[in-house]
Amino acid sequence: MLVTKPVTELCALLIDELYGELPSRIFATLLSKGKSTLPQLALHTSMTPRQLRHGLAVLQQHNLLFYHLDAGAEFASYEANAEHAYNLVRIGKILEMIDSSFGAPAKDVMQNLLLSGQTRISDLVAAYQEKIEQANMAAALMGENGEVGSEANGVNGDSRPAKKAGPFVKSTAHLNSIICRLVEAELIDVVHPKTFESPADILKVVEKEVMDKYFPAGVKGNKAKVELQQRIAEGLRKVRGESKSLKRKLEQNGSAAKRRKLLAGLSGMTNGVHDDDMDPSLDPKQVIRINYEKCLVELRNRRLVQFATDMFSETTAYVYGVLLKLLTKDLPRCRPDPVMDIAEDEEENEKKGPGFVTTEQILDNLKTSVDLSLGIGKAEKRHISSSAAENIRQYPPEKKPKIEEAEVDGEASEDEDEDDEPSGEESDHDTDYKAPMMNGINGVNGTSGAKVKFDESAGPKEQRMDRPTQLRQHLLLLAESTQRFVRHCGPNEWTVDFPPLMNALREVELDSVIERTSGRQGLRLVRILRAKGKLDEKALPNVALMRKSELQQKMLEMQTAGFVDVQEVPRDVKADVKKSFFLWFCDVDRTLDRLLDTSYKTMVHCIQVLEALRQKEKDVLETTKRTDVRGREKDTMRKEYYERYSRFLECERRLFAQVARVDDLVSVLRDF
Amino acid sequence: MAANGIADDSAKLQILKDALYDEIRQHGSETRLFGQQDLLDLNIIPRNDVTLLVRVIQALTDDKLLVGTTNHHAGLAWRWRSREEAKKYTSLPNDETVMVYSIIDEAGADGIWNRTIKNRLNMHEAVVKNCIKYLEQKGYIASMKNVEHPNKKMYIKATLRPSERATGGPWFTEGELDTAFISELESIVFEYIKTKSAYRGSQAQPGGAASSSGGAIKVPKKGAISSGEATPRGTKRAATDISTDDASPAPTLNTSRGGNAKSRAVFLPMPAGYNQYPTVAEIAKFIHDTGITNNTTLGEADIQQLVDVLTYDGLIEPVRVGRRRGYRVTRAMKQDTVPFHKRQKEREAGIGLDQPLVVGAEPLSNGLTEAPCGRCPVFELCEEGGPVSPSNCVYFLQWLDLEDVPAAVAPNVALPP
């Protein structure tokens, strides 16, 4: 993550918003001055060491700080963890994601973890113990009613103050099981000494270790360099693996974990069903924190599902969501680390990419209430070229597939004369030939008959397909899309090539920004340039079918906005402007970078506007801070005051929602 | 003797002239070039007498029936000119006019700029002007407009139609890009592709009582597609009846824009491998059959240009199924099921004026385009402490409905938890 000025501002504002001004100021100083020791900080911030220590402690607690202590050094040097600071924006989204996929109790645990930063398990348990006891006492007092009331509250998924959350976690065993599940999903990982060191420091340490151990005489030759790289990658992976120690420990307990995994499925419905006592109790001294990397994977899945909803129907998007969930279960992060993971790939070529999911797996995880017949149109069978639909792409797009060429050729001639009156036999042959092959390979028992039914029932009811076929239809649709949502990588095997897909998504986001700011004609021009490369100004109007004057105006407008750029190529030495060529082009990467920067600034502006509003409504807000008013604002405040207050809250909500929406864009551009 | 000889000679020459001219006309069109050998090979000139040939040609050229040109390959060559044309030349009063006319004639269908005429002939501007005035009065030449140089005054022979290059092809009317025509045609082509490449079904209205407690995604209710099976629209229609085709359950504005109805018509994507997506040839045929463009002929290349523009607009996308390259609508579900021309009529009747009328689905949006900042004209200047800053931003106040502070209280104010 590139820390630019708007990012610095944003991080400081976020920390200010959540943890107060003191840590925020220290953090901003750390970002602007770089790695600093305590005396240096004191110099830059003109704060007392005592204040600084307080602030640093808060930052440390929330993992917003790296520190490094060189052997023999007097002071540790601190460094800002901008990545985590930025992730504070996503807290709401992460909680919502946990809520929908793990249920409200898990969300509650996660929320507490977020509030208190990295926490020792025993502390968390103690906190909950107290709450549970309180809740039990309250329940005993109020009888059944209270219990039911708060339960309903939980289902709605509204945000509630933490004190009401008691009934969510029913016992410490329940808490334990929730933590176990989150750990297994890698959403929570373990804090170890190395987590406090910045990646650069870790790299330095590992490098030094490797040099001392394997190359005491220095590195000579290419072979040794490669080996060095591998050793370093290995060392880094080992460090990274440490935070997964708890997960490994849980997995060693085999059966219970596995069973729970099966039950966990994809919805929060299963919680409470399986018995909590099955879970191994966790080491109470273990310190845990949220693993943002894995959270991002989940958030990416959600974004992609939304993308699919935009492009297709909700049903197709739902199927896609299930597929993604299965596919990314063991995917630790969105983007592989350039140092660590590329070396890993070389080692074990098998594990390249996220693997694949079979149709049956998806089928097993679909909710039975979902009607798969929705969301896809129907066409007569003779209008469907199944060989084109079933096209298998064994390799990711950059590696040219050579296998299906012959197949396509053979079928193409058939296609051409099918235009008007395709003879039924011909296409029948098509499916006849295909269906047995599909069945033969994966052996979906019992469904094979239904698949051939396609051919038999020529009557009006032929469209009643069975569920696996319907599922396949959705998957094939996804695979056929221009965005390449899914790759049909083997018979009934599906995978997703994330990098090209995310590029497509990024382009879509960019396009929508362009379309919203420069109109459809602007979008047209940019896409022409993207397709054709550099284009002379004189050639553009012809392609775009636009008036020259309009076009020039639009191009200038978009140049100011940074979507396109122009290059002047003189025809001769005199460089006469009248004779020069003007080549328009668009640099997508640069535009995206610019968009990212704009997004940061927008977020900063949103928070600053909120701050301005706070200043404006200061008198009202101060009233609400009084203890006798708090919680009973509506009753105690004057009407006029209360209206101002509620209007302010509405604005606050909108502004935060807006920040979160812009973060959606930032995630797509930067993290996914 | 001498006089007789000359008269005899000139009579002979006249015969030869006519014979050669007729023979040349038999051998090719006005554009064909005849070299010296070609003319000798016509076997008109006795004994292949070159000097005689030269005389005959000279006489013909004087009569403007032959035009001499120099060809890079064959050297000097001639092409013939029709007698009517030649008559025009001979009827011209003076040499200047002839020269001007011949230059315009040579320029052909592309026309020529009057400045070029002047420069090429090295004549005084007034003379050229006079000549042109005379020629125009006579109806021999006409002024024209070239789309590439709209400001230049060009002339062309009155009998010729300006070339494609000069007029800019079917998209231009009188030298101007006919944007109204293009956008109209675009909407028709888009409508055609939309109905042909997506399945028209109905879908239960999401929302209402649908509670989504467990899953994150709202799933449409069961058994919604029922009317769709009876009428497999989009796949079985002939190209011609598309324009009269909206009699069937055309949803009212109310239902399609999210009314209370249980189900609404939607376009659904076709299953993978659908091989009936319309191709450019089919679209061209459709446009031809409807006869919308009665005074312009649109070739497949023109339609391709139009389709490309739609593709660049992101409204349609190319799909290759087998060897067939068809086009389909993007984001089928989000498309308006009411045909475009119907919407236009509605607008004329005063319905839906609050929404902009554009072809295709509403563009996607994201956080940036929604916030005032994404469209802010002074975004680059905006900074705390500057003349324009977030704290005094008027756009944000508008966006937050705070502009007229005492009047508007946001309607659904949520209480803080």
Read off the pLDDT of residues A554-566 as tens digits, 9 standing for 90 and up.
Answer: 999 899 888 899 9
Query: Which residues have C-beta within 8 Å of that of residue B19, sequence separation ≥ 6?
Result: B44
Q: Is B87 on the interface with A (CB under 8 A)?
A: no
Query: Best of B147, B148, B212, B219 to disrupt the A interface by mutation (most A CBs within 10 Å)?
Result: B219
Residue of A nearest to B213 (CA): A155
pLDDT for residue A24: 92
Q: How far is A210 from chain B (nearest CA, A)?
A: 46
pLDDT for residue A419: 35
Q: Is the pLDDT of residue B414 over 60?
A: no
Cross-strand partners of A308: none
Q: Comparing B82 with B150, which gets the higher pLDDT?
A: B82
pLDDT for residue B262: 53
Q: What are the tokens at A500?
A: 């090209």
Q: Is the CB of B390 less than 8 angstroms away from the CB of A371?
A: no
Nearest to B367 among A517, A634, A661 (CB): A661
| Alpha carbon distance B220, B132 (integer Å) | 74
Decide if A431 contacts A388 (C-beta within 8 A).
Answer: no
Decide if A280 contacts A336 (C-beta within 8 A).
Answer: no
Strand runs labelled E in A394-522: 487-490, 493-495
Q: Is B207 on the interface with A (CB under 8 A)?
A: no
Confidence band of A400 (pLDDT split at 50, 70, 90): very low
**In B, residues 358-387, which contact A (CB 8 Å cutoff)?**
358, 363-371, 373-375, 379, 382, 384
pLDDT for residue A270: 42
Decide if B111 contacts B156 (C-beta within 8 A).
Answer: yes
Query: Best of B235, B237, B277, B373 to disrupt the A interface by mutation (most A CBs within 10 Å)?
Result: B373
pLDDT for residue A583: 92
Q: Per-residue pLDDT tens for A376-396? A: 877 777 777 777 777 777 776
Q: Taking residues B280-301, report their average pLDDT.
A: 81
Decide if A658 contacts B372 (C-beta within 8 A).
Answer: no
Q: Is B198 on the interface with A (CB under 8 A)?
A: yes
Measured between beta carbons, the chain B residues lying within 8 angstroms of A525 are 312
Q: Is B388 on the interface with A (CB under 8 A)?
A: no
Residue of B nearest to A615 (CA): B391
Query: Best of A153, A299, A300, A480 to disrupt the B interface by mutation (most B CBs within 10 Å)?
Result: A480
pLDDT for residue A329: 82
Closest CA to B366 of A262, A513, A424: A513
pLDDT for residue B228: 35
Q: Is the CB of B415 less than 8 angstroms away from the CB of A608?
A: no
pLDDT for residue A464: 59
Nearest to A384 among B215, B271, B306 (CB): B271
Closest CA to A491 of A325, A324, A356: A356
| Alpha carbon distance A156, A607 (integer Å) | 28
Nearest to B309 among A310, A389, A544 (CB): A544
| Alpha carbon distance A569, A575 (integer Å) | 8
**In B, residues 278-297, which contact A (CB 8 Å cutoff)?**
none
Q: How far is B74 from chain A (nearest CA, A)?
A: 34
pLDDT for residue A529: 92
Measured between beta carbons, the chain A residues lying within 8 angstroms of B268 are 313, 375-377
| Alpha carbon distance B216, A314 (integer Å) | 11
| Alpha carbon distance B313, A638 (integer Å) | 54
Closest CA to B190 of B333, B2, B319, B317: B317
| Alpha carbon distance A179, A282 (integer Å) | 9
Closest CA to B359 of B325, B379, B335: B335
Decide if A660 contacts A653 (C-beta within 8 A).
Answer: no
What amino acid occupies position B105?
D
Measured between beta carbons, the chain B residues lying within 8 angstroms of A608 are 384, 389-391
What amino acid occupies position A10?
L
The length of chain A in residues reads 672
Q: How far is B236 from chain A (nearest CA, A)?
A: 10
Q: Is the CB of A379 less than 8 angstroms away from the CB of B225?
A: no
| Alpha carbon distance B77, B24 (integer Å) | 13
Q: How far is A276 from chain B (nearest CA, A)?
A: 21
pLDDT for residue B394: 85
Q: Taking residues A462-477, report their average pLDDT.
A: 77
Q: Per-residue pLDDT tens for A233-268? A: 888 888 877 777 777 777 666 544 454 544 444 444
Q: Is the CB of B217 less than 8 angstroms away from the CB of A321?
A: yes
Measured between beta carbons, the chain B residues lying within 8 angstroms of A615 are 391
Q: Is the CB of A516 less than 8 angstroms away from the CB of B314?
A: no
Cross-strand partners of B268: B199
| Alpha carbon distance A500, A513 (integer Å) | 20
Closest CA to B269 of B335, B322, B315: B335
Phi, psi (degrees; rounded to nearest 5) at A115:
-70, -40
The lowest-confidence range among A41-50, A414-423, A472-481 is: A414-423
Q: Is the CB of B215 less than 8 angstroms away from the CB of A159?
A: no
pLDDT for residue A525: 92
pLDDT for residue A451: 35
Q: Comparing B360 with A473, which gets the higher pLDDT?
A: A473
> Inter-axis angle of helices A424-442 and A405-416, to 10 degrees?
150
Count the Cβ atoms, other than its own, within 10 Å of residue A642: 18
Q: Is B407 on the interface with A (CB under 8 A)?
A: no
Q: What are the tokens at A33?
A: 């001055």
Measured between beta carbons, the chain B residues lying within 8 angstroms of A158 are 417
pLDDT for residue A214: 80
Q: Is the CB of B221 less than 8 angstroms away from the CB of A513?
A: no
Which class for B407: exposed (0-12), middle (13-18), buried (19 or more C-beta within 10 A)?
exposed
Nearest to B382 among A414, A605, A653 (CB): A605
Q: Is the pLDDT of residue B296 over 50?
A: yes
Q: Taking residues A75-81, report their average pLDDT.
A: 87
CA B270 to centroid of chain Cα atoms? 30
Q: Taking residues B27-42, report their average pLDDT.
A: 80
Decide if A106 contacts A268 (C-beta within 8 A).
Answer: yes
Q: Is the pLDDT of residue A303 over 80?
A: yes
Count the Cβ atoms, other than its own, within 10 Å of residue B343: 19
Q: Is the pLDDT of residue A35 over 60?
A: yes
pLDDT for residue A433: 36
Q: Show the 3-state SS of A347-376.
A: HCHHHCCCCCEEHHHHHHHCCCCCCCCCCC
Q: Comparing A22 with B370, which gets the higher pLDDT?
A: A22
Measured between beta carbons, the chain A residues lying within 8 angstroms of B220 are 313-315, 371, 374-375
Q: What are the tokens at A630?
A: 């708090």
Decide if A409 contacts A391 (C-beta within 8 A).
Answer: no
Nearest to A100 among B182, B216, B415 (CB): B216
Q: Are strands B198-204 and B176-177 parallel, antiparallel or unpaired?
A: unpaired
Query: Which residues have C-beta within 8 Å of that of residue A83, sequence separation ≥ 6?
Result: A1, A292
Q: Per-residue pLDDT tens for A445-461? A: 333 333 333 333 333 44
Cross-strand partners of A584: A535, A566
Q: Show the 3-state SS of A230-245.
A: HHHHHHHHHHHHHCCH
Count the Cβ atoms, other than its own, within 10 Å of residue B122: 6
Nearest to B413 among A416, A544, A646 (CB): A646
Query: Best of A383, A391, A604, A653 to disrupt the B interface by mutation (most B CBs within 10 Å)?
Result: A383
Q: Is the pLDDT of residue A422 over 70?
A: no
| Alpha carbon distance A87, A81 (integer Å) | 10
Q: Which helix (H) or strand (E) holds B97?
A: helix B95-107
Q: Is B300 on the interface with A (CB under 8 A)?
A: no
Alpha-helical regions (H) of A143-171: 144-156
| Alpha carbon distance A293, A63 (integer Å) | 14
pLDDT for residue A252: 67
Q: Taking residues B126-149, report their average pLDDT.
A: 84
Q: Per-residue pLDDT tens for A144-195? A: 444 444 443 433 333 334 444 445 777 778 888 888 888 888 888 888 888 8
Confidence band of B351 (pLDDT split at 50, 70, 90): low
Closest CA to A561 of A583, A537, A532, A591: A591
| Alpha carbon distance A554, A520 (integer Å) | 11
DSSP state of B49: -
Q: Is the CB of A512 less than 8 angstroms away from the CB of B391?
A: no
Count the Cβ atoms, other than its own, within 10 Å of residue A369: 10
| Alpha carbon distance A537, A371 (integer Å) | 52
| Alpha carbon distance B262, B259 (integer Å) | 9
pLDDT for residue A227: 83
Q: What are the tokens at B256?
A: 């399609």
Q: Is the CB of A310 less than 8 angstroms away from the CB of B374?
A: no
CB pairs under 8 A between A and B: 291
Share above pLDDT 90 across residues of chain A, in percent, rounded to a whole number: 6
Measured between beta carbons, the chain A residues lying within 8 angstroms of B379 are 598, 601
Report how many helices (DSSP H) and strands (DSSP E) chain A contains, helices first: 30, 12
Q: Is the CB of A527 less than 8 angstroms away from the CB of B268?
A: no
Confidence band of A584 (pLDDT split at 50, 70, 90): very high
Query: Which residues have C-beta within 8 Å of that of residue B170, sequence separation ≥ 6?
Result: B293, B296, B297, B298, B302
Query: Which residues have C-beta within 8 Å of that of residue A72, sequence separation ≥ 6?
Result: none
CA A238 to centroid of chain Cα atoms? 25
- SS3 label, residue A65: strand
Q: Is B103 on the interface with A (CB under 8 A)?
A: no
Q: What's the mean pLDDT when you consider all of chain B?
A: 73
Check: pTM over 0.95? Answer yes or no. no
Q: Is the CB of B272 less than 8 angstroms away from the CB of A268?
A: no
Q: Is the CB of B366 less than 8 angstroms away from the CB of A665?
A: yes
Cα torsion A616, A617, A621, A622: sign: positive
> Inter-axis angle of helices A498-532 and A292-311, to 10 degrees?
50
Q: What strands lie across the sheet with A65-68, from one edge to the other?
A: A36-37, A77-80, A65-68
Q: Is B277 on the interface with A (CB under 8 A)?
A: no
Q: What are the tokens at B301?
A: 């290349």
Q: Is the CB of B374 less than 8 angstroms away from the CB of A269?
A: no
- SS3 label, residue A658: helix
Phi, psi (degrees; rounded to nearest 5) at A593:
-60, -45
Share above pLDDT 70 across residues of chain A, in percent, rounded to a whole number: 78
Q: Is the pLDDT of residue B331 over 80?
A: yes
The length of chain B in residues reads 417
Measured between beta carbons, the chain B residues lying within 8 angstroms of A365 are none
Q: Is the CB of B415 less than 8 angstroms away from the CB of A646?
A: yes
pLDDT for residue B402: 73
CA A30 to centroid of chain Cα atoms? 28
Q: Is the CB of A375 less than 8 angstroms away from the CB of B415?
A: no
Count the Cβ atoms, other than its own, within 10 Å of residue A347: 11
| Alpha carbon distance A271, A274 (integer Å) | 7
- The complex's ipTM works out to 0.76
Q: Comparing B345 with A413, which gets the higher pLDDT?
A: B345
